[in-house]
Every structure is written in structure tokens, then in C-alpha cells.
A and B are shown apart, each in its own frame.
Chain A
Amino acid sequence: MIANYGYTNGSGTYLITVNTEKCDGCGKCVSACPYGVLEIIENDFDPIGEGMMAAVTEEHRKKIRYECAPCKPVSGRTELPCVKVCEREAIDHSW
């Protein structure tokens, strides 16, 4: 399953995407993110299974444009720490 966290508004699209087929909930991205945007939750989209997955915290979902700003190309960073640390290539982003 591909979970898109974030939003689109007049200024652009701000999404962090987690592919739950690939994500095993290891949590490396959580510690790699300098702004605490990510967390590990129970895979809610497959309630019968018992897997864990990475997700953007409820608190940050509507603020991604600002919270993730330091990891945008305009701020000089090309590769996102969360994307880089994920060995399974489960995380992606819209910018």
C-alpha cells in the first residue's frame, strides 16, 4: 500500500510517501529525521495483520511544508535523511 501523508494547497504539493509493502517498521527513518516528523505505528491499513510501518505523525501532517523545509533543495540539501537511511527504499517525497 502506498500511504501519502501531507497535502496540496495553493502553493504546491507536500507529500511524504511510505510504501507499506517495502516498509518493515525498522524505525531508522525516525531517528534519522532531525525534526521528528516520522513515527512507527501499527499498520492500520491491514488491521488483521500485525505489521508495523513508518508514518508522518498526526501533528506534522498539516505542516509538512514548513517542517520539511530544511530538507528541500532550496535549503541546500538534495537527499533527504529519511530517504537515504531507508535500505528498503520505502520512503519517497513530492519535491
Chain B
Amino acid sequence: MEQERKEFWRWPEYRWTLPDADWRAGQIVTGGIDVGSVSTQSVIMVDGRLYAYSSMRTGSSSPDSAQKALNWALDGTGLTQKEIHYIVGTGYGRLNVPMANRTITEIACHAMGANFVYGSSVRTLLDVGGQDCKIIRCDEKGRVVNFLMNDKCAAGTGRGIEAFSELLSVPIEHIGEKSLQVDNEPDPVSSTCVVFAKAEATGKLREGWSVNEVIASYCLAMARRITELINRLGIEKEFAITGGQAKNIGVVSRIEKEIGIKALPWKEVDPQIAGGIGAALFAKAIVEKSRKG
């Protein structure tokens, strides 16, 4: 008998449009497209106000993903690509965004985006993406002061969580809460390498650990690894997290515990689209500069 198969790593794609808003009333319509290694976000802003956004998985073709994400964000708004004054591409795949007027590094975009999402009090920003994590120190205007990136391997990133949700057959959205449903915090898995950690997790399951304990163990290992990176650069309040892992309470709460500082909570705006927001804000600044002459 064929069993029901589910891809547990598949996180939900989503889109959003500002209700009851008309883009025609705006002076500057800009777009930011953040083509990451795992997900692609497209953000449309009108006069520096969030108007629409979409987030979807990056396929094997960056240009296609960028176009799809943009089309999806524009869906139902009546706005077309031609009417966007300026588009900035960012992220790993930024050189493959055909409709972008220019590209800007995702480090600058995330700092700018976090300034928008969390407010100007953010001084230390952690961006945990699909395939790397970065620590960014920024000033009150969202400008980068100092940064450190770890893109050497997938340990401590969203891709690692995807691998674990698949291994343990736990839907990826539930990883965070499940990791907190343990009586005692288990030791972290000793290897941060995703491949070795998976092998270790399989061993733990055989020893009789519960699924929740294994998840907790991996989340803790990931938090420790990220904390190492944070400590290298030093931390200054306020602290905020962007990227997909900002939504993983299991990792976020453990990082907070390790560094002893609470991360700013996110409210309406999804922290995963911060890079796209930053790109759209830079696009606005560029348009303003060119209009002034």
C-alpha cells in the first residue's frame, strides 16, 4: 500500500498586499528583489511605504525565481513591472536578476531593511539565511558599520533546519515549538556540520531520544555556533534577527539565552523580507537622487 508522502522541509510561500491602497497616488514606486540561496523575496514600496510583497522558494534558475516572485507580488494590484521606477536586486543570486536596474550587496540591504522593520534603535543585526549567517553592526540610519559573514558551510542555517525536518518527519514550521517541548535541555549535537549532525541525530534516536529532544539538541548546537560568530564581532543593543530563522522560536530563544540579550520582537512585517525592503528603500533613495539632478 502506498503511504502518504509529505515533503516536511517545504515551508509555506506567501504574499501580502496593503489593503485599500492605491499605488497611483504615490510619487515613487520601487522594487527590491532578494534572490537568496533558498528563498526569493520580492518587495514593492510606494513612497517608502510597504505596498506588496511575496516570498517563494528559489528554484534552480535565479532569473525565473526573481520574475515569478515579482509577478506574484504584483498579482491583483493593477501595477505592472513597467510602472516600477527602479528595481534593485540583492542576495546571492543578485547578478541573475534581469529586471534589476542595479544590484547592491545583501549586507547593506539587510541593515537598511532591519532599520525599517525594527526601527532605528537596531545596532546589532543577525541575519540567518538559508545558506549563511551574518552579523551586521549598523548605525541609526541603517548604514553598515561592521560585518562578519559565515558562508563557509550550511551549519547553523535554514538549510540545516530543512535537513532535520525531513530527517525527523516534522513539518518545518513546527520545529521551533517542538524543540521547546522538552523537560530538560539536552546537550547540543557535537558536530555543527549538517551531514555529521544528521548521522549523530540518527544515533540519538536509536538510543531512545525523543524527536523533540533531537530537535532541541540541534537547535542548541546551531544557537551556540551563531553565538560564537556574534561574540567575535561584539554585541550592542538593540539586537534584532532577520531572515527565515527569525521565525524559528527554538533557535531564537536559545540564542537570546546564550548572549543574555533579548532580540527585538517583530510585529506586522515579516523579518524574512528585510533584505527586499532594504533593496526597495535603496531604490527609492537612488530615484530621489537622480530626480534632484
Contacts and interface: CB of A to CB of B under 8 A. Distances in A.
Interface of A: 1-4, 7-9, 13, 15, 44-48, 61-62
Given A13-B232, A44-B105, A45-B105, A7 B146 contact: no
B125 to A, nearest CB: 14
| B interface SS class | mixed
Nearest to B225: A8
A8 B150 contact: yes
A13 B148 CA distance: 11
Nearest to B135: A4
Contacts of A7: 149-152
Contacts of A62: 151-152
Nearest to B278: A47
Contacts of B107: 44-45
Interface of B: 88, 102, 104-105, 107-108, 143-153, 228-229, 232-233, 282, 285-286, 289
Contacts of A2: 145-147
Given A8-B228, A47-B108, 10 more contacts: A1-B143, A2-B145, A2-B146, A4-B149, A4-B233, A44-B105, A45-B108, A45-B144, A47-B88, A47-B285
Contacts, number: 53
Contacts of B289: 48
A47 B150 contact: no
Contact of A47 (B152, B228, B233, B282): B282
A62 B131 CA distance: 14
A68 to B, nearest CB: 15
12 contacts: A1-B144, A1-B146, A1-B147, A4-B148, A7-B149, A7-B152, A8-B228, A9-B153, A44-B105, A44-B107, A47-B108, A47-B282
Contacts of A4: 146-149, 233
A2 B144 CA distance: 8
Contact of B143 (A15, A44, A45, A61): A45
